[in-house]
Amino acid sequence: MSLLDAARAVRENAYVPYSRFKVGAAIRSSSGQIYVGCNVENVAYPEGTCAEAGAIAAMVASGETELIEVCVIADSPHPVTPCGGCRQKLAEFGRGDVPVRLATVDGPETLMTIAELLPGAFDQTHMERA
User: Which three-class secondary structure string do you get for the chain?
Assistant: CCHHHHHHHHHCCCECCCCCCCEEEEEEECCCCEEEEECECCCCHHHCECHHHHHHHHHHHCCCCCEEEEEEEECCCCCCCCCHHHHHHHHHHCCCCCEEEEEECCCCEEEEEHHHHCCCCCCHHHHCCC
* Residues tagged in the binding site annotation for substrate: 39-45
- This prediction has a pTM of 0.94
Give me the percent of the chain exceeding a pLDDT of 70. 99
Please check whether residue 67 is in contact with residue 27, taking contact to mean a CB–CB distance below 8 angstroms.
yes
CATH superfamily, with its number, for domain 3-120: Cytidine Deaminase, domain 2 (3.40.140.10)
Domain map (residue ranges) of the chain: 3-120
Query: If you count them, how many residues does the chain have?
Result: 130
What residues are labeled active site?
Answer: 52
* Residues tagged in the binding site annotation: 39-45, 50, 83, 86
Tens-place pLDDT, residues 86-114? 999 999 999 999 999 999 999 999 999 99
Which sign, positive or negative, has the C-alpha torsion 9, 3, 36, 79? negative
Gap between the Cα atoms of 11 and 66, Å rounded: 22
